[in-house]
Amino acid sequence: MDATAQALDSARTPDGSTRAAEIRLEGVSKVFADGTVGVAELDLTFAAGELTVLVGPSGCGKTTTMKMINRLIEPTTGRILIAGEDVTRARPDELRRRIGYVVQSIGLFPHQTVRTNVGTVCRLLGWDRARTRARVDELLSTVGLDPAVHGDRYPAQLSGGQRQRAGVARALAADPPVLLVDEPFSAVDPVVRERLQSEFLRLQQTVRKTIVFVTHDIEEAVRIGDRIAVMSQGGHVEQYATPAELLGRPANAFVADFVGADRGLKRLAVTGIDAADLEQPPVVHVADGLADARAAMERTGARWAVVLDDAGRLHGWLSAERSRGAGTVATTARRMEAWVSQDASLKAAFSTMLQHEAGWVAVLDGDRFLGVLTPESLHAALRRSVEGRVPETAGAAQL
């Protein structure tokens, strides 16, 4: 076993799983035999445990960059370090057994069952049958396939989405610290695609690998990436940033054009709710009298108040107008259905607001009321997400 294989094997967590490893490209170029420059002088670092997306127009060098990491393509110049070890000095076969690889076009071996397919690398690494079988069944369940139902099937007996999941399970089987993923969802329809993306994200939350993910689809990139490298011809990185930064502050015209004119809308989906974004309307309690509620609203000039129950849970809302009538808060308050959890995106909050035709949406932490988002505070939240990088006066134009 060479130094790179050892480095990839060595970092074990207490539960025995492999730690994610940083990948560093230093001055990497690829000039093909016919003189085509696939990638020129590329410096890029993929942080350990992050999902980094390479995105860009066709032929810009995404796949070449990815395939140099597991040496399916040999770099012409430069160094590629994984966990500090130079992969160009490693034996390619040992290297590839330690790097998971998911690709849409290279499918599963058609004449092997799903279980045999998924266990391929485990067997190559010399694992015994029992360990391999246990690992394969665990992985099949993790990716949403039932070992008892799907394990003994052949790839042709699975749907496209199921085949893709089996491919992901195969890549993860030997618990590699690094996973390379090339356009895995391009052949499935948009609905299945979105579901597979969500599943893939959930899986990454559990396994926390260093993932390099290639796609030409910016929607997919912003949906799943922790960071995104937007590339142009020759593997040139035009911008390397988080989805929110990329959409909020494209570095140049190329990136702005690539992310699309609707980038403000796309940003809603990648921006979370921050406690600082929330407005605090007057709060009254369900046991209060209407006079108290009215007074609370008059003090701040508010047109409505949030009504909480004794435990601080959202009960509903009360308008200033209704508070002038007779009765109690309990009998006069209206139910409040426009609410989201604090871990929702701004897009989910806005969508909830529209769905209920409400002027605001309550934000909850479990049962606990945290505050409300209005169209104004939502706008401010979007601007805050790139604060420090967007001049105040440019904010409106960014949307």
Ligand X SMILES: Nc1ncnc2c1ncn2[C@@H]1O[C@H](COP(=O)(O)OP(=O)(O)OP(=O)(O)O)[C@@H](O)[C@H]1O
Q: Which of 18, 29, 52, 63 binds ligand X (CB under 6 A)?
A: 63
Residue type, 206: T
Cross-strand bridge partners of residue 362: 339, 372
19 binds ligand X per the rule CB under 6 A: no
Residue 4 or 215 with smaller CB distance to ligand X: 215
Residue 232: CB minimum distance to ligand X, A: 10
Alpha-helical runs (H) found in the chain:
3-10, 62-69, 92-97, 114-118, 120-124, 129-142, 147-150, 160-172, 190-207, 218-224, 243-248, 253-259, 263-270, 290-300, 329-332, 346-355, 375-384, 395-398
Residue 38: CB minimum distance to ligand X, A: 4
What is the Cα–Cα distance from 130 to 225, expressed in whole angstroms? 36
- How many residues of this chain interact with ligand X, rule: CB under 6 A? 13
77 binds ligand X per the rule CB under 6 A: no
Residue 60 or 329 with smaller CB distance to ligand X: 60
Residue 174: CB minimum distance to ligand X, A: 26
Residue 369: CB minimum distance to ligand X, A: 47
Determine the interface stretch with ligand X among 60-68, 110-118, 123-131, 250-258 (rule: CB under 6 A): 60-68
74 binds ligand X per the rule CB under 6 A: no
Give yes or no for a contact between 264 and 385, defined as CB atoms under 8 angstroms apart.
Answer: no
Is residue 286 exposed (0-12), middle (13-18) or buried (19+ Cβ within 10 Å)? middle
Site map for ligand X, 169-208, x if CB under 6 A?
----------------------------------------
371 binds ligand X per the rule CB under 6 A: no
What is the Cα–Cα distance from 273 to 364, expressed in whole angstroms? 11
236 binds ligand X per the rule CB under 6 A: no
Q: Which of 4, 64, 332, 385 binds ligand X (CB under 6 A)?
A: 64
The backbone torsions φ and ψ at residue 290, rounded to the nearest 5 degrees and listed phi first, read: -65, -35
Give yes or no for a contact between 99 and 176, defined as CB atoms under 8 angstroms apart.
Answer: yes
Question: Which residues of this chain interact with ligand X, rule CB under 6 A?
Answer: 32, 34, 36, 38, 56, 58-64, 216
